[in-house]
Structure 1
Amino acid sequence: MLIKSIKTSLASLCAGLAFAASGSVLAADPGITDTTITLGMSAPFSGPNGAYGKEMKEGALAYFAQLNANGGINGKKVELVTLDDGYETERTVANTRKLINEHKVFALMAFYGSSPTTEAMKVFSEAKVPLLGTISGAGSLRSPVNRYMFHLRASYADETEAIVNHLVGLGITNIAVFYQNDGFGKSGKDGVVAALAHHKLKPVAEGSVERNSLQVENAVAQIAKANPQAVIMVTLYKPTAEFIRQMRKAGQIPQFSTLSPIGADLLVGEMGAKDAHGVGISQVMPYPWNDTQPVAKEYHKAIQAFAKHSNYSYYGIEGFINAKLIAEAMKKAGRDLSREKLVNTLESTPFDLGGYKVSYSASNHNGSRFVDLTVLGRDGRVLR
């Protein structure tokens, strides 16, 4: 009888230990509680490029406010911790560590910039924390595939190919390139060179500007010598505006074209509608002012409710779609949410985010190749 009692006690103890062990295995990853899921974002909210981060943040928060009002993710509210990096690499890396180690976020989203994200990648990859949405089209972030990084937008190679093909199709062959001297600009410049090579062409001139600088004089001098028909600019809005002003002052009136990171509304705000008129811009997000596309209509409603305005923008809708992607992926990953389940769900499930579609696989984390070519009209509006 005593032996039987001991056996029963041992069996109960083993079962309890097994249950405890399984419970520890199934314990939620950091950032998940009974009531919340915490996400993290590092972007510029100050400095020359602070407007980019602010618009993305507003779009993301507008989506999460709408989501939480409707029950969140399986009853859990989504909270977004946002840290300002000023578009500086060291601050981005420090923010990434802080978000993971101090704020204990479940996942990351909407990191901004090629060079900052390249360095931050070392931190979140080692920690096995997924990053969804990189505001960069740099090839160096896309190949080789990083298991924990998923791209929402098309690459710079996709954008520059579309621009070059359009210009060459118009009979424009003397094309120069003006680029930012960092990972972003060099990746875009490489895309221009590769796209021109498909047409057996080369840039007639090149010029660069340092990140967070407006010193464009040398670039203007180099490019103006070539008297180009068009200049493709892989730069952000402030140096772009200064470059165009100085080129025109030098008597140069080529077709100016630039890539999506420019932020059309910010360029118009910097230059004025009259001077920005005619600048071509490739876009990688749906037209934010579209009254018929489901995701744009959803974005309008959310921004009006959250921010009490209707100042729509490409960066705003990108932040909104980025938030919607991570929310949809978490929903589809199921109730026992984990970082690895989130990664596996993204790699195996296509997502229709309201007319903007993305899909990933284990060997390809480029969600979309969508590129739309636009031009700034006389009143500063983006025309398609």
Structure 2
Amino acid sequence: MGKIATRAGIATLAFLALAVTSCASQKATGGGSGSADGDGVKTGPGVTDTTITVSILTDFTGPYASLGKSLTQAQQLYFEQVNAAGGVCGRKYEVVVRDHGYDTQKAMAAYTELAPRSAAIPQFIGSPMVTALKQRIEDDKLLTIPMAWATSLLGARAIQVTGTTYDLDMINGVSFLVEEKGIKKGDKIGHLYFEGDYGESSLNGSKYAAEKLGLEIVEQKIKATDQDMSAQVAAFKAAGVKAILVSVGPRQAASLVGGAAQAGLNVPFVGSNSSYAPQLLGLPVKDALLKNFYIMTAGAPISMKLPVMEKLAADYRAKYPDDTLDNSIPSGWSAAMIVDTAIKKACEAKDLTREGILNAHRSQTTFDPGLGTPMDFTSPSRPASRASYVLKPDEKALGGTMVLKEPFVSELAEGYEVPVG
């Protein structure tokens, strides 16, 4: 969930599914042959003479419900504002939303339904879901922004992983522990991770860094449906770990950190970008999180004093006054901007076919929406960035986190060969 990042399951993280606010018309399937419309612009699937349809495949009812809600609302807000300003290429965006509940079969069915009438997919939650569809997305030449940062998603021209990959964040995270938290050669570091692409990609990074720095990784693999981390806490304590890496969802992170505090395991925790949600600060685990938890991410937090970020926070609050501000909002906004920018560039070339949109997207060497570190989109086989922020939970900060360390690329991350596919 890149990069981005914010998953749910416990009561305080459970959100109601969003109502779909925009529905695609039957006209949205037009232009599939690459014919030119009246304005001389070649069009492809999802593009008519009046509309451009983009589709969101998200999670409102599964373990990443909080992420899905914030991402989707941010993207709906983005496209609404583009439409209010006149649209793009003489057309207005139509947004279609489907909830797959973090279920691969449902995600594949949703893609089968929406892909033929979509010009792009600005949000697709879940490494397992996107990986299962990777070849189809590539064959369809459908620009897709996964809200996932596994290395298995690299290598496809049509799939753009934003920011860093999970392994790079963990490499930078281990370097942070050594340089600033007293971890030294010979120490053991725990790593709690989900089975599947997210966890395995993260583990690749931690094992690489540990080997280079003379550390030992104590692994604990769990399923996304597991909620009680008592056994994992006991295993880490018995092993004598000096720090713990966390590549799971917020509910598991909360159980881990809370259980460690009760067991007297007072060590720093470094989480992947998807391991934290600000709603955790409303739970009894709050004090332990504020003391010992750190988050690695390529994206700036919504609390950061950036002009674009401050406007986004104000606009989002005005549109959704009852909803929590979190760091998935700028992630969603940035992904929507990536798609919109590609479509605008394709329009300039008078080619809104899928190939035209991909050509426009992949031509960008420096994409900087003002929401974090710049990204290079020219190579499908390389991460868009290697730089990670270190964030710290902060109950007084907007979105529940503050910047502890500005984006940095550790020496280990600089020299790391990121696996592809």
**Equivalence map 1:1-384=2 (5 Å):** 28-101=43-116, 104-131=117-144, 133-142=145-154, 145-169=155-179, 170-172=181-183, 173-203=187-217, 205-271=218-284, 273-278=286-291, 279-291=293-305, 293-308=306-321, 311-334=324-347, 335-349=350-364, 350-354=366-370, 356=372, 357-362=374-379, 364=381, 366-377=383-394, 381-384=400-403
Partner Cα separation in structure 2 for residue 80 and residue 219 of structure 1: 42
Partner Cα separation in structure 1 for residue 209 and residue 308 of structure 2: 31
From the two aligned structures, give the one with the greater helix fraction. 1
Aligned-residue offset at 1:271: 4.8
Aligned-residue offset at 1:266: 3.4
Do 1:207 and 1:220's aligned partners in 2 also have CA atoms closer than 8 Å? no
Deviations 1:290-332 (A, max 9, x none): 23x2331331243134324684311111001111111111111
TM-score, length-normalised on structure 1?
A: 0.86
Do 1:178 and 1:206's aligned partners in 2 also have CA atoms closer than 8 Å? yes
Q: Which has the higher mean CA deviation after the structures are superposed, 351-360 or 116-125?
A: 351-360
Aligned length: 358
Partner Cα separation in structure 2 for residue 324 and residue 60 of structure 1: 9
Partner Cα separation in structure 2 for residue 307 and residue 50 of structure 1: 16
Deviations 1:195-218 (A, max 9, x none): 111212221x22122112214333
Aligned-residue offset at 1:351: 2.2
TM-score, length-normalised on structure 2?
A: 0.79
Partner Cα separation in structure 2 for residue 226 and residue 378 of structure 1: 32
Do 1:44 and 1:85's aligned partners in 2 also have CA atoms closer than 8 Å? yes
1:94–1:21 CA distance, 2 compared to 1 (3 A): closer
Aligned-residue offset at 1:47: 2.7
Partner Cα separation in structure 2 for residue 377 and residue 21 of structure 1: 51
Aligned to 2:129, the other structure's residue is in SS state helix
Partner Cα separation in structure 2 for residue 180 and residue 272 of structure 1: 21
Partner Cα separation in structure 1 for residue 41 and residue 395 of structure 2: 59
Residue segments in structure 1 that go unaligned for 5+ positions in a row? 1-19
RMSD, matched Cα: 2.4
Amino acid at match of 1:230: A
Aligned to 1:111, the other structure's residue is in SS state strand
Which structure would you say has the larger Rg?
1
Partner Cα separation in structure 2 for residue 234 and residue 126 of structure 1: 31
Aligned to 1:207, the other structure's residue is in SS state strand
Residue 10 of structure 1 is matched in structure 2 by none
Do 2:250 and 2:276's aligned partners in 1 also have CA atoms closer than 8 Å? yes
Q: Which has the higher mean CA deviation after the structures are superposed, 297-306 or 319-328?
A: 297-306
Residue segments in structure 2 that go unaligned for 5+ positions in a row? 1-32, 404-421
Partner Cα separation in structure 1 for residue 55 and residue 158 of structure 2: 14
Amino acid at match of 1:358: M
Deviations 1:139-190 (A, max 9, x none): 1111xx1111111121112211111001111321431111112211111112
Aligned to 1:262, the other structure's residue is in SS state coil
Partner Cα separation in structure 2 for residue 215 and residue 259 of structure 1: 19
